[in-house]
Chains A and B, each alone.
Chain A
């Protein structure tokens, strides 16, 4: 463990004035980091001004509590400050995910299928018509998913809702949301492969089926 990290640990595990001073210094560090990260991500999340600063303060406070609870788990794999910043960054993500639902007109009950290619990088408008058969096939594949998989795939992939926002909405971890969508992707690929829209072996991973059948061309 590097010297700075050892010093942080010793001070935070200390007693009395030394510990209080270290905690104050740590909170200052977390708040500075929280403000930086909040301002970096604020424009994309359409949040600014006092509301953004409040979010940064809350993130720093919550990060401080989490960090102190987990202090004994720090084993020096990274610098202490990097470990500490991670708490703030994850708190900011979580809070921005919750904030997402305060926006008007969140498209959870609509499905933006026509925008699917464009949302995922298909920039040629002339190719739009050529994608329609494939979009229709993906929609049929989505109908074979479980209700939860369908909801999460449509929300995150079709409508572009961030995973952290769906995590806040569903009360599940981002990892659980990602896993459900991951499983949905595999099922959809298998369906498209089985039904002749993609070449490759049904159930194979992304690298295995790179081409569409000639009937779509």
Chain B
């Protein structure tokens, strides 16, 4: 066995001091999403937010949702009768 720490222990113990946390991230999530959507450097503009998004599944999921909305990507839904529809 290698003496590298298992990846899982690093994942559960990661604490980057640049991490701004959930509240600060959610406060600028709309700006971050727009910067991303226009192909600009969101990570460079908000490094602490980028660090947080890499560590926090909840905020990353919010960003995925917001990004899907602003590019107006159709979401396939299953209607009650078993048919599929798009919103």
Contacts and interface: CB of A to CB of B under 8 A. Distances in A.
At the interface, is chain B mostly helix, strand, loop or mixed? helix
A210 B69 CA distance: 38
Contacts of B19: 182
A173 B24 CA distance: 12
Interface in B1-22: 1-17, 19, 21-22
B41 interface: no
A196 interface: no
B47 interface: no
A82 interface: yes
Given A39-B77, A120-B12, A162-B58, A85 B69 contact: yes
A37 B66 CA distance: 8
Contacts of A57: none
A192 B4 CA distance: 14
Chain A binding site: helix, strand, loop or mixed by DSSP? helix
Q: Which bucket holds chain A's interface residue count?
A: 35 or more
18 contacts: A39-B75, A39-B87, A40-B75, A77-B28, A78-B30, A82-B34, A89-B29, A89-B69, A130-B1, A134-B6, A138-B9, A162-B58, A164-B58, A175-B24, A182-B19, A182-B21, A185-B14, A192-B13
Please name the 7 residue pairs, one residue from A and one from B, whose CB atoms are nearest each other, closest first: A175-B23, A120-B8, A175-B22, A206-B14, A78-B34, A78-B30, A86-B30
Interface of B: 1-17, 19, 21-24, 26, 28-31, 33-34, 37, 56-59, 61-62, 65-66, 68-70, 75, 77-78, 80, 87
Interface of A: 32-33, 35-37, 39-41, 48-50, 77-79, 81-83, 85-86, 88-90, 92-93, 116-117, 119-122, 127, 130-131, 134, 138, 157, 162-164, 173-175, 177-179, 182, 185-186, 188-189, 192, 198, 205-207, 209-214, 216-217
